[in-house]
C-alpha cells in the first residue's frame, strides 16, 4: 500500500502542477483569442474601407466616362455643323467658278493650292469640270485629276 500512496501522491502533485499550468495558461489563451478576434475585426474594417474606396473610385470613373461621352457627342455635332457649313460655302464657290468662262476659271484655280482646287472642281458638274481642266496647264490638271480620284477612294 505504500507504493499506492506514493503513486497517489505523485498523481496529486501532477494534477496540482497541471492545474497550475492550466491556470497560468488560461490568461495567455484568452489573450490569444482576444488578439485573434481583434485582428479579424481590423482585417474586416480594412476590407470594408478598401471596398468603400474602390466604390468611390468606380463612381468617379463612371462619372468621367459619362462626361467624356457627352463631350464626344458635342464635338461630333460641332464637327458635323462645320462640315455642313464648309460644304455649303464650297458649293457656292464652285457655282461661281462654274458660271465663269472655262479659261478664266482655270487661271484662278491654278493659283489656289491643289487641295482647294480639288474640292472646288469635285463640286462642279462634269462638263464644267472637264472644260476647266482642259484649259489648265497639263501637269497641274493631271495632278488635280489624280487627287480627285484618290479623294473619291477615301
- pLDDT, tens digit, 9 for 90 and up, residues 9-43: 677 777 777 777 666 666 766 666 666 676 777 88
Radius of gyration (Cα) for the chain, nearest Å? Answer: 46
Q: Which of 14-23, 86-95, 102-111, 140-149 has the lowest mean pLDDT?
A: 14-23
Classify residue 110 as exposed, middle or buried by CB count within 10 Å of its CB (0-12, 13-18, 19+): middle
pLDDT in tens, 39-77: 777 888 888 899 999 999 999 999 999 999 999 999 999
15 lies in some domain: no
Cα torsion 31, 34, 39, 45: sign: negative
Provide the residue range defining the domain that includes 133: 49-154
Alpha helices by DSSP H, 100-125: 102-111, 114-123
In the chain, the number of structural domains is: 1
33 lies in some domain: no
For residues 95 and 100, give the distance between their C-alpha atoms in angstroms, rounded to a whole number.
Answer: 9
For residues 138 and 151, give the distance between their C-alpha atoms in angstroms, rounded to a whole number.
Answer: 20
150 lies in some domain: yes
Classify residue 147 as exposed, middle or buried by CB count within 10 Å of its CB (0-12, 13-18, 19+): middle
149 lies in some domain: yes
Residue 78 has pLDDT above 70, yes or no: yes
96 lies in some domain: yes
pTM reported for the whole predicted model? 0.53
Amino acid at each position: 500500500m505504500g507504493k499506492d500512496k506514493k503513486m497517489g501522491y505523485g498523481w496529486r502533485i501532477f494534477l496540482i502542477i497541471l492545474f497550475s499550468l492550466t491556470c497560468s495558461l488560461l490568461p495567455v489563451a484568452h489573450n490569444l483569442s482576444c488578439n485573434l478576434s481583434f485582428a479579424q475585426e481590423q482585417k474586416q474594417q480594412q476590407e470594408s474601407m478598401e471596398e468603400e474606396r474602390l466604390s468611390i473610385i468606380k463612381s468617379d470613373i463612371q462619372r468621367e466616362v459619362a462626361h467624356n461621352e457627352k463631350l464626344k457627342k458635342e464635338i461630333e455635332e460641332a464637327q458635323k455643323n462645320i462640315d455642313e457649313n464648309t460644304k455649303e460655302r464650297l458649293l457656292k464657290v464652285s457655282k461661281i467658278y462654274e458660271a465663269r468662262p472655262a479659261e478664266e476659271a482655270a487661271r484662278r484655280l491654278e493659283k489656289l493650292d491643289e487641295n482647294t482646287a480639288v474640292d472646288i472642281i469635285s463640286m462642279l458638274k462634269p462638263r464644267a469640270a472637264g472644260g476647266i481642266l482642259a484649259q489648265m496647264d497639263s501637269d497641274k490638271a493631271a495632278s488635280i485629276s489624280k487627287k480627285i480620284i484618290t479623294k473619291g477612294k477615301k
